[in-house]
Amino acid sequence: MRADVPPLASRATAVAGSPVRDILALTARPEVISFAGGLPAPELFDTAGMAAAFHAVLDEAPRSALQYSTSEGDPGLRAAAAARLTARGLPTDAADLVVTTGSQQALSLLTAALLEPGDVVLVEAPTYLAALQCFQFAGARIVPVPSDDEGLDPVALEELVVAERPKLLYTIPTFQNPTGRTLPADRRQAVASVAERHGLWIVEDDPYGELRFAGEATPWIAAYPEAADRTVLTGSLSKIMAPGLRLGWLRGPAVLRRACVIAKQAADLHTPTVNQLAAARYLSDTDLDAHLAMVRDAYRERRDALLAGLGEALPEGSRWNEPEGGMFVWASLPPGYDATAALRDAVAHDVAYVPGAPFFASDPDPATLRLSFVTHTPAEITEGLRRLSKALRGHSAG
Ligand code: PMP
């Protein structure tokens, strides 16, 4: 007789995979022009520079590059990341940072360090899907903060903080995923003041801030004195160097960093040593800012190509924004349209996007969609929009 094994943990079945993933799996065909994935343009990776950095560390320091290392991360990489933050207006020491395996891991570690089942987490509406999954795995109660074209509404935030007593606010204030929105400075100040008055953690997730190709930079929430001791800033090399490196970091107060380091020991001991040393080497040998200037120029052209064709491609009455950086444009079809239903037809026309609905913690807006403009050339974007226009022509409101 064979006895059944015990069931999976309830959290393993409670966090849903996305049905949209199944449709998007069909977009791996090379003929598809995809506005769906948040994939940095691979032809713009500095492959030669990174190959040189990996060769250098493996030639010169193979015994440390291939060895176990500390959970906090390589001191050289932490110093390089701290120097970039300091240069951008947020004084930071290497010791203020913990290196993480992508900034995604920073979200997992912070969740492990801060959240009990039932704790309330406030998020933007909509927000980054894999952050929602992370908080759901912890059994948190996720409450969306009403947001408009400029991001979350600080007045609504304060009301929710009073009513819900949340443990933390998770926000992506700059070139948000999925909307491309950027929170203006006055709202950042207001968010910092709410955190000061009512006592809550802020997780400020910023993987896109260095992809600004127009307008002026806005200070981090972490830079406002009111919130300095309660804000954790997370960052990543994924969008400015390469996501396959899986290198990110978190910057936060010592007590929380220590808890995250212990959670990290349980998760993966440390982030791959060779990747950390190669990235540190790259940052000391190469002018990343010069490389980024080229990437930003290319992304601006691609955004412009998308904006130039969207009016023709989307049904009359659609709305969309014009982000000053990042990777995404957020669009709303006229009321009554369903972007998830229309995706099948889009894929049949060899073009794809991500419907907006899964990015909402609750009350999804079915008419919304996210378009990434960075993965394809301007000519491909224009062709993709032609296909999208044909696909959406078969759809109408209701
Ligand atoms: N936060 C946001 C808002 C993201 O969009 C992403 C990746 N798409 C991440 C975190 C995770 O990025 P990574 O782990 O590659 O640093």
pLDDT tens, position by position, 233-248: 999 999 999 999 999 9
The pLDDT of residue 286 is 96
Mutational test site, ligand 1, from 98, 100, 103, 205, max ligand atoms within 8 Å of CB: 103
Closest ligand 1 atom to residue 102 Cα is 14
The pair of structure tokens assigned to 366 is 């079915």
| 40 alpha carbon – ligand 1 mean position (Å) | 12
Distance from residue 5's CA to the centre of ligand 1 (Å): 35
Nearest C-alpha to atom 8 of ligand 1 is from which residue? 38
Residue 104 CA to ligand 1 center (angstroms) comes to 6
pLDDT confidence of residue 156 = 98
Read off the pLDDT of residues 102-131 as tens digits, 9 standing for 90 and up.
Answer: 999 999 999 999 999 999 999 999 999 999
Q: What gap in Å lies between CA 242 and CA 89, rounded to an integer? A: 24
Ligand 1 atom at minimum distance from 104 CA: 14
Q: What is the pLDDT of residue 14?
A: 76
- CA distance linking residue 351 with residue 357, whole number of Å: 19
In order of their start, the domains of the chain are 10-38+290-393 (3.90.1150.10), 47-285 (3.40.640.10)
Tell me how far the alpha carbon of residue 209 lies from the centroid of ligand 1, in angstroms.
12
CA of 15 to the centre of ligand 1 (A): 19
Q: Which two tokens stand for residue 96?
A: 């203020």
Cβ–ligand 1 distance for 102 under 6 Å, the answer yes
How far does the centroid of ligand 1 lie from the alpha carbon of residue 234, in Å? 9
CA distance 359 to 301: 27
**Residue 18, pLDDT score:** 67
Q: Which of 171, 205, 276, 359 to mutate to test the pocket of ligand 1 (most atoms within 8 A of CB)?
A: 205
Tokens (6 digits) for 71: 């959970």
Indicate whether residue 205 lines ligand 1 (CB < 6 A): yes
Element (DSSP H or E) covering residue 266? helix 254-268
Low-confidence ranges of the chain (pLDDT < 50): none
Residue 243 Cα: closest atom of ligand 1: 15
Kindly state if the Cβ of 326 falls inside 6 Å of ligand 1. no
Does the pTM surpass 0.85? The reply is yes
Query: What is the per-residue pLDDT for 29?
Result: 87
Parallel/antiparallel/unpaired status of strands 231-236 and 201-205: parallel
How far is 233 from 252, CA to CA, in rounded Å? Answer: 7
Give the integer Cα–Cα distance in Å for 10 and 204: 29
